[in-house]
Structure formats: C-alpha cells, structure tokens
Amino acid sequence: MSTHPASPRTSQERYAAALMNTFGPPQLVLTHGKGAHVWDEDGTEYVDLLGGIAVNALGHGHPAVVEAVTRQLSTLGHVSNFFASEPQIRLAERLLDLIGPPDSEVEEVAPGSGRGRVFFTNSGAEANEAALKLTRRTGRTHVVAAEGSFHGRTMGALSLTAKAAYREPFEPLPGGVTFVPYGDSAALAAAVTGDTAAVVLEPIQGEAGVVVPPDGYLSDARRITREHGALLWLDEVQTGIGRTGEWFAAATDPGVEPDVVTLAKGLGGGIPIGACIGLGAAGSLLQPGHHGTTFGGNPVACAAALAVLDTIEADGLLEHVTDLGSELRSGLSADPRVTAVRGRGLLIGLDLTVDAPAVVTAARSHGFLINATGARTVRLAPPLVVGHDEAEAFRAAWSGILDDAAAA
C-alpha cells in the first residue's frame, strides 16, 4: 500500500506541491497563445497587455520566430563556447549596427578595440552580471546606481537593485554601490568620484512604475562619467528592442553614447537570450577566462532574436509602437481616477486613486492581463504587435475595470 499522499487535483495545487514558492501562487495556468491573445486551461481568452513582462515582443506563436527556431534547431541546436555559429556572429554584428558607433572620446585600453563587442547570456540578470564584472576590469570597484532601480536578482545584479524587500534577505551583498535619487543630476555628480568604475542607469525605470527621467538626465550622466573616467552603463533590458518606439530608449536623449548596454526581454521574442554590449574600449575589458556561460549565444536563441529584429524592421513596428502607445496613454488618462501617466511607446505606467492589485484582478475578469508595480500603479507592456482594436477594447473597458476594483 502506498504511503504517498493523494495526488493534488488541480494545476495550481500541483504547482504549489512541485515548484519552489518564489513568486507566490500563479494567477492563471495558460495553455496557448496567438498574437496578443492567450487562453487559460479553462478555455478563457485574455488580451495580453503584459507580454510576459515586456518579453513577447512579437506576441505568441509569431510565424517568423516559429520558422526561425524550427529551422535552426533542425540544423544546429547547440555548439558550446568552443565553437561559433553563424546566427551568433550575425546577431552580434546586427546589434552593434543598431546601437551605433562608440564614443570617440573614450580612451582605448586594449589593442584591437573597435566599435564594440557583444557577450551573449540567457537573461537580463546575467547580462548585468557580465557588465558588473566588466566594470571591475577598469581597476575600480565603486558603482553608482539609482534609487528605484531594478537590475535583476542574482547576487551581483541584486547589489545594484534598490528595492529593500529584494535585497535584505540576502545581505551582505557585493559592496561598493552608492544609490542616488533617479533623475537628479546634481546628486549623481556628487556621488561619482575618481574611484567610480561605472554609473548604471535604466533609461526608463520599469519596475519602479515606468519612471521617465527629466530631459537631459542621461546626457548629464554621460558628461559626469566622462569627467571622472567612469563607464556609463545603460540597462536597456526592459526598454530595448523597440519597446519605447526606438530600438533603444536612450536614443531619445541626443548625445548619449554609453560604454556598456545590457539587453534581454524582447530580444528573443520569448526565447531566453540576453546581451552585454561593450562599446569602444569597454568591449575589450573582458578577456579569455574572465567570464563564461554554457548557453549564451546558443544558435537557436540567436536565430529567434534575428527573426525578431527583422520583423520589427519589416513591419514598421517602431512607428506602430509610438502611435499606439500615444493612443493608449491618451485614452486611459481620460478617467479622473488616473492621476498620472508615464512612459514611452508601449511601456506605460498608470498611477491610480484605486488599489492597483484590485485593478489587476478586475482587468483579468474583463479579459485583460496587466500587472501592478506598486500599491497604486499598474504597468502595461503588451506585445509590440498588439492592434488598435485590442487597444480600443481595453480603453472601452477601462472605466468599468476601475469601477469593479473600487467596489472590491
């Protein structure tokens, strides 16, 4: 006779019994998706306005990604770091082309430094870990980060992440990090010294509630870091690859030429991939033996990323993101319970007079997936392919969603 307890009955119970409880109970068990729509195990359909937290750039089941992954996996699936593959090389070249030339004023620190070099990872946190190690190769250890920042939950990335609830259970973290108010150029100037290896900033803070800095802030950061010989490291993990209507969010601040850019989320369109891009001399700071990854640069993930970039370009999605984002922000802000709207493109934060988690629940009951980044703030980060009809449906349902949340 078996001594094991009876098998759990539902997917939620099976999840709770089999997976570590690092995120709390899942809201839904999803079975499939198409475009900007997903379905749960009960067959209920939702418009996905979160996109796997800005990951599913082309939505679900996009033919270009499916074809690229299928074709690549059927020919060459994994090669290790002892070998290279064509998709890996082509993607690195493509990203360097998109990001532009290096800062001509950065002094070369190693022979052979060119426009830049890419290190591929599996996630944004890993991209930031690589970037943090890269900064140590300057011979300095002090890093300046921003209050409200989120750079990941691995130990190095967590040391740059400001939120106390994420940090405190794992302290002491790697030291040498000074946090300054985000968007405050004077505070940044006061914190950066000749011992500072790098300043790391998100061009728009996503986890903090889609916080956009004042115009000129990133340019000030570039000037300040240059004055002290420090690297400027922009974390575009959430904002990059078209999310804001530009390939990179920092492009809206003219004259900002970072030394390091980290990417992930939308790059693979749902296939795990990240990138640490060192521009100019920063691209040569990591040398053989300094860092590694088993799966980074996997040809299947790189093929998926190339399909994402090709589709964004071919389908004019940057312009679509800009137009639709403007349309959504304007429509949603018309309800007086919206006290502030922030963001660019399809990265949108809404401050509310209504409890944000209750709004998330109410939105789900109306057939829309969004998330809360604070007690009174919700975030939208839909697939870049979300259509005008879906946006209009959400706008039409918005006041009813807020009504239901207020009554909950």
> What residues are labeled active site?
150, 235, 265
| Residue 42 vs residues 10, 28, 105, 162, 360: alpha-carbon distances, Å | 12, 10, 58, 39, 19
Amino acid sitting at position 406: A
Helices (H), 34-80: 51-54, 63-73
8: number of Cβ within 10 Å: 13
Per DSSP, the three-state class of 61 is: coil
Residue 34's contacts (CB-CB under 8 Å, 6 or more residues apart) are: 59, 60, 61
Confirm if 236 and 242 have CB atoms less than 8 A apart.
no
Whose tokens are 């309800």? That residue is: 335
Pairing outcome for strands 368-369 and 45-48? parallel
Q: Which two tokens stand for residue 366?
A: 């109306």
| Alpha carbons within 13 A on the beta-carbon side of 66 | 8
C-alpha span between 114 and 110 (Å, rounded): 10
Contact between 362 and 33 under an 8 Å Cβ cutoff? The reply is: no
